[in-house]
Amino acid sequence: MRKGRFNKPAAEIVQRYGESVSFDWRLYRYDIAGSIAHAAALARAGIINADERQKIEDELRAIEKEIESGKFAWERSLEDVHMNIEAALTKRVGAGAKLHTARSRNDQVALDLRLYVKAEIAEIAARLRSLQTALLNLAEQHVDLVMPGYTHLQRAQPIFFAHYLLAQIEALERDMERLGDCNARTDVLPLGSGALAGSTIVLDREVIARELGFSGVSQNSLDAVGDRDFVCEFLFCLAMIGMHLSRLSEDLILWNTTEFGFVEFSDAFSTGSSLMPQKKNPDIAELTRGKTGRLYGNLMSILTTLKALRSSYNRDVQEDKEALFDSVDTVRAALEVFAAMLPEMKINRARMETAANDPSLLATDLAEYLVKKGMPFREAHETVGKLVVHAAKTKSSQSNSNRETEKALA
């Protein structure tokens, strides 16, 4: 790639600083799929013949197998996954030198990223469903279990434990919807945009889109090569999933304490202390809560990278991949471990039911009962509030209707 314009090879320090193959090798499957589809388009356009197209496809599939088996030798001097695969192909098949016709690494990497994000959206969605199933199964096992509901971490009203679990399912369902929205905007073929202004060699982009499973093609080449909105959106979706898991983690961490004792994590999903023999720590939930900060950071990283870039492609966007890969790996693992941890978690029904037996939890019900009897709500609210204060002072329950209680209501 440097032989025409440059008289000197890239300095070793430049190669180390600028290479991305150490992390973007993960795109190999999508890069190869895109190259096979591009070769077919070149054959349809008469740039390569049928025999050349077949040899290119066969060798690309052979390279894919070598990568998957760990036998492929990645070269840092070739910078990235694209040039590594192209160089290996060209060594094996002379026609490999024709493959990059009517293509730039700018639209090539945009294609690879879109294929990768589409695949990961499907994978994350499947794991979300698995976690929702685990939550639903737990709810069905404890459909009649009553517990206190909390606002401001103060006992508020009685709820079913199943109601709490279904609330988590609702939040995850919104995550599913966001992933679907993100996929709709990711599902656009950028190949054919070239470096920024397309190519004089016309390829049938609609056919390429169908072959690669895209619903449509990009409408503006300048936008297509520089667009990373879909990466930002996906990172936002992952950050939201992390936030929901973090809030669930916080609830479970609190309920796992001796003071609450509502739940107990399985030994298989707990850790001990290096000093204190009695400790059984909820590290999985704590780690999930902590890792959510990384998800936020990855989102802000790419947003900050993009904020001052001029239109079209800029090398800065190479920095999107490490953040993207890290967020995907983090959320994949978190969803998997939560789906496995919840079925093993012990639910202490007695502790929940005892806590739910607090008469003050029915204060709102009592106020609404008085409203049904004709009392204005604000008056009922004040009346029951006085009763709660009186009950707290006398340590009597709201069900008592002795003279002291009647006096408090007067």
Tell me what the mean pLDDT of segment 386-401 comes to. 73
Tell me what the mean pLDDT of segment 40-52 comes to. 98
Tell me what the mean pLDDT of segment 350-371 comes to. 96
Domains 12-101 and 358-409 share a fold: no
Kindly give the residue spans of alpha helices, DSSP state H, lying in 214-319.
221-226, 229-255, 283-306
Tell me what the mean pLDDT of segment 252-259 comes to. 98
Does the pLDDT at position 169 exceed 70?
yes
pLDDT at 10: 86
Question: Which residue is associated with the tokens 């090539």?
Answer: 108
Tell me what the mean pLDDT of segment 153-177 comes to. 99
User: How far apart, in whole angstroms, are the C-alpha atoms of residue 263 and residue 252?
Assistant: 7
Q: Let me know how many helices (H) and strands (E) the chain has, helices first.
A: 16, 6
Exposed/middle/buried for residue 330 (C-beta within 10 Å: 0-12, 13-18, 19+)? buried
Does the pLDDT at position 362 exceed 90?
yes
Residues with catalytic annotation?
152, 273
Residues forming beta bridges with residue 154, ordered by sequence position: 151
CATH superfamily name and code, 106-355: Fumarase/aspartase (Central domain) (1.20.200.10)
Domain ranges of the chain: 12-101, 106-355, 358-409
User: How far apart, in whole angstroms, are the C-alpha atoms of residue 273 and residue 46?
Assistant: 68
For residue 8, name the pLDDT band (cuts at 50, 70, 90).
confident
Tell me what the mean pLDDT of segment 73-80 comes to. 96
User: How far apart, in whole angstroms, are the C-alpha atoms of residue 113 and residue 324?
Assistant: 10
For residue 226, name the pLDDT band (cuts at 50, 70, 90).
very high
- Architecture per CATH, 12-101: Orthogonal Bundle (1.10)
pLDDT at 401: 46
| Closest-CA residue to 31 (of 73, 75, 63) | 63
Does the pLDDT at position 398 exceed 90?
no
Instruction: Return the minimum-mean-pLDDT range out of 292-306, 325-339, 388-402.
Output: 388-402
| Closest-CA residue to 300 (of 241, 226, 224, 239) | 239
Length of the chain equals: 410
Q: What pLDDT digit, counting tens, does each position of 277-301 carry?
A: 999 999 999 999 999 999 999 999 9
pLDDT at 2: 58
For residue 407, name the pLDDT band (cuts at 50, 70, 90).
low
User: How far apart, in whole angstroms, are the C-alpha atoms of residue 58 and residue 60?
Assistant: 6
CATH topology of domain 358-409: Ribonucleotide Reductase Protein R1; domain 1 (1.10.40)
pTM: 0.93
Q: Please count the other Cβ atoms lying within 10 Å of the Cβ belonging to residue 208.
A: 21
Mean pLDDT for all residues in the chain:
95
Residues 351, 261: contact at Cβ < 8 Å?
yes
Does the pLDDT at position 406 exceed 60?
no
